[in-house]
Structure 1
Amino acid sequence: MIDIAVNLTSSQFRQDLEEVLARAREAGVDTLIGLASNLEEARLLQSLAERHPDVYITAGIHPHYASGFEPSSRGEIAALCEHPRVVAVGECGLDFNRDFSPRADQRRAFEAQLKLACDLGKPALMHCRDAGDEFRAMVSEVRPDLSGGVLHCFTGNEQELHQALELGLCIGITGWICDERRGQTLAALVPQIPDDRLLLETDAPYLLPRDIRPKPRSRRNEPRWLPHIAKKVAELRNQSVDALSHQCRLNAKRLFQV
């Protein structure tokens, strides 16, 4: 299986990352894509990927850090993308829920990274929270030149799902779907995702599936729980776990060329 979104530079993995990676392999998760939220993380990920042939990475600036997007940032991301393990530009996008960066800065950083992805022929790994209409408009503008993209950690509504699908994007599903409190809307929408647009991710160390039994002592999520998410998604879509996992692997390999 391929976990298309793991925050490998998180401080929560600092003490035992090697063990985390080993447990993922033991669980059948043999390929990970490490997410960069800023340039420092992208550089750290390159060093990590050089030591682990099963780790691929992204390079980009998350909307939370968009206020730090400088005139030189586009060139720095482009240079980072020359590394052979970088498979996507991102994590980039809009987050009007937390607004950790001013919205004007978010728009500026997102536009620049979308155009960079087009210029480099790489897919974009994207984030969107409470910004559906603007996200759709900005992606639509470049979509003819964009090789592909995924709306990572999708937790939106039906309208947002269909907007993303109309843009030709893949949809990343996390352990949010295993949350009996917040995940019911997503659980109802997952069967509407076409087979060839579905991707699986943990977004670890965040979003530990709440229905794991026995309940882990730590609330930290890990890539080893990706098969648990796949099982839940397969049940909701009335598919076998093997068939669903195989299809999602093919989708990830096609999008990211891994």
Structure 2
Amino acid sequence: MQLIDIGANLTHDSFDHDRDAVLQRAREAGVSQLVVTGASREHSPKALALARKHPGLLYATAGVHPHHATEYTAECDAEMRALLSHSEVVAVGECGLDYFRDFSPRPAQRRAFEQQLQIAVDTRKPLFLHQRDAHADFMSTMRNFDGRLGAAVVHCFTGTREELFDYLDQDWHIGITGWLCDERRGQHLRELVRNIPADRLMIETDAPYLLPRTVKPAPSHRRNEPMYLAHIVEELARDRGEDVAVTAANSSATARAFFRLPAA
């Protein structure tokens, strides 16, 4: 299998002591390419630097997560635009709305989201989106840009059937993580993933977060890493009633087309 992890937070400081070993384990587990998530003014440049250090293996996004929306100034907007001028930066985001934690005021979240959607319009690069407990405002904001945006993926989908079909009705892509493997919170996804067309489905670890709870033995440090993408695709294939090789091949082809990645 050749897998593509579309969302890994490899600039996280938990990887500082063994990042090269993490990448080697990922390759050994069949992960041929990874998209490093940029989610703040601090980490988006780091994502680009990491992609440049590993050409052909790593790519990056550039954006500001709603948790950091208060840092989205005019200077920040210029910084994101500069980062997105680089070919290694393949998507705008992580951006969107998060009303679950409200780490930034909601008006600030909406402003930062709108400004990044405008960047996507201007650059014609795809969107890497975040939405949690903000579906109505999220959809309303996206509709304000109807007809002007390119491709979009709602990353780390954990929502309801209604939310899923709202996204699919817009021809957006869906990113599935190890949340699927959480018997406490992700059981509903086991049924929903059957409804995602193969050309709209991508997989991700969101490492170092969301270690799949069905990984045995569980690592003592509880840190997720890209090598566990193989475990996620196995669970996903089972829930979709597919051979794992089919799910792997389809998700990789979809990711490569979405992010315009060259062959690994």
Give how far 1:48 is off.
1.2
2:53 maps to 51
1:243 paired residue among 236, 241, 246: 246
Are residue 4 (structure 1) and residue 25 (structure 2) matched?
no
Give how far 1:11 is off.
1.3
1:13 maps to 15
Letter in 1 for 2:23: L
SS across alignment from 1:91: strand
CA distance in 2, matches of 1:43, 1:73: 11
Letter in 2 for 1:200: I
1:99 paired residue among 93, 98, 102: 102
Give how far 1:170 is off.
0.4
Say whether the 8 Å CA contact 1:140–1:167 is kept in structure 2. no
Give how far 1:193 is off.
0.9
Give how far 1:134 is off.
0.9
Give how far 1:51 is off.
1.1
SS across alignment from 1:32: strand
Give how far 1:215 is off.
2.3
Identity in percent: 48
Say whether the 8 Å CA contact 1:143–1:167 is kept in structure 2. no
Are residue 77 (structure 1) and residue 75 (structure 2) matched?
no
Letter in 1 for 2:21: E
1:229 maps to 232
2:28 maps to 26
Say whether the 8 Å CA contact 1:64–1:95 is kept in structure 2. yes
Letter in 2 for 1:113: Q
Letter in 1 for 2:142: V
* RMSD over aligned Cα atoms: 0.9
Are residue 156 (structure 1) and residue 159 (structure 2) matched?
yes
Letter in 2 for 1:162: F
Give how far 1:38 is off.
0.9
1:254 paired residue among 232, 257, 260: 257
2:214 maps to 211
2:92 maps to 89
Say whether the 8 Å CA contact 1:57–1:87 is kept in structure 2. yes
1:187 maps to 190
Give how far 1:228 is off.
0.5
Say whether the 8 Å CA contact 1:93–1:135 is kept in structure 2. yes
CA distance in 1, matches of 2:103, 2:125: 27
1:37 maps to 39
Letter in 2 for 1:42: S
CA distance in 2, matches of 1:24, 1:86: 21
2:135 paired residue among 127, 132, 137: 132
Over 4 Å off, 4+ runs: none
After TM superposition, list the pairs within 5 Å mapping 1:114-133 onto structure 2: 114-133=117-136
1:111 maps to 114
Letter in 2 for 1:87: V
Letter in 1 for 2:207: A
1:62 maps to 65
| Structure 2: gaps spanning 5 or more residues | none
CA distance in 2, matches of 1:41, 1:212: 28
Instruction: State the Cα deviation string for residues 161-187 of structure 1 (Å, max 9, x = none).
Output: 111111211000000101111111111
Give how far 1:218 is off.
2.3
| Structure 1: gaps spanning 5 or more residues | none
Letter in 2 for 1:26: E
CA distance in 1, matches of 2:60, 2:51: 7
